[in-house]
């Protein structure tokens, strides 16, 4: 493992709260691998044997519904981990994981982590924080679906990517628009309509680049109560 991968792993939500000695023990058996875009990390129904940390790129977690449609559960990037909850319980993965872009992933063997926990039970409390973080993330996604319009969800997605707090800003879309739509619980055609609506809010999309005229104004729009539009009309 090179210095960059080691740093990402130790600063990840999964290991950040774990004592240094325990981090060393967990990372001792870790492996780092590059994956091409479209590569499968694991499949829904496979027995969970590892936890993963993203060093570079984006990974999507998805489920295939009985009718064959794909439901995107989450999208993870540098410093994010996935697979913890089921791996620690020796259960099957409830989702599939696929590289949405070229990726570098750290694979942590579950067996090595569980052996450490048997020797140092207090380590489990630090590791479980990542599981709670995923739960909060899912709750936030459900809240978005229930309380925001499609255009507001897209606006918030863009704001999550920007490093600017005010004024104009350019944002690179990290992966294709079909995946963006799935991540936001939308159809691709609905995403196109949302981008069109955001033109009135100062957002222009050119290929994989979004140009935001005023970050603060877009933030205000993302937080606006959709019911207010009915009141004004």
49 and 126 fall within a common domain: yes
Longest dimension (CA), the chain: 64
Helix (H, G, I), strand (E, B) or coil at 75: strand
113 and 170 fall within a common domain: no
64 and 101 fall within a common domain: yes
CB 120 within 8 A of CB 167: no
- For residue 85, give the DSSP letter: H
- What pairs with residue 31 in β-bridges? 107
- Buried b / exposed e over 139-170, threshold 16 CB at 10 Å, is eebeebeeebbbbbbbbbbbbeebeeeeeebe
Look up the pTM and report it: 0.81
132 and 170 fall within a common domain: no
Q: Which of 9-18, 120-129, 168-177, 214-223 is predicted least confidently? A: 120-129
Residue 76's pLDDT is what? 92
pLDDT in tens, 97-110: 999 999 999 999 98
d(CA 129, CA 137): 12
pLDDT in tens, 41-78: 999 999 998 999 999 999 999 998 788 778 888 899 99
- At which of 80, 114, 145 does a domain end? 145
**What is the extent of the structural domain holding 78?**
3-145
Is the pLDDT confidence value at 116 over 60? yes
């Amino acid at each position: 493992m090179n210095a960059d991968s080691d740093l990402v792993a130790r600063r990840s939500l999964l290991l950040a709260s774990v004592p240094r000695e325990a981090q060393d023990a967990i990372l001792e058996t870790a492996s780092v691998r590059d994956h091409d875009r479209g590569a499968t990390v694991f499949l829904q129904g496979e027995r969970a044997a590892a936890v993963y940390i993203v060093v570079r790129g984006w990974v999507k977690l998805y489920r295939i519904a009985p009718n064959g449609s794909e439901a995107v559960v989450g999208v993870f990037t540098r410093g994010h981990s996935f697979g913890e909850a089921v791996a620690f319980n020796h259960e099957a993965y409830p989702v599939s994981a696929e590289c949405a872009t070229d990726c570098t992933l750290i694979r942590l063997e579950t067996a090595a982590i569980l052996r450490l926990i048997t020797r140092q039970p207090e380590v489990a409390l630090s590791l479980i924080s990542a599981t709670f973080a995923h739960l909060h993330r899912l709750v936030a996604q459900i809240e978005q679906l229930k309380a925001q319009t499609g255009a507001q969800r897209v606006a918030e997605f863009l704001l999550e990517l920007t490093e600017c707090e005010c004024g104009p800003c350019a944002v690179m879309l990290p992966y294709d628009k079909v995946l963006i739509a799935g991540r936001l619980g939308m159809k691709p055609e609905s995403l196109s309509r949302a981008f069109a609506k955001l033109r009135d809010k100062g957002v222009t999309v050119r290929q994989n680049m979004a140009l935001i005229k005023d970050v603060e104004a877009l933030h205000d729009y993302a937080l606006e109560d959709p019911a207010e539009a009915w009141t004004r009309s």
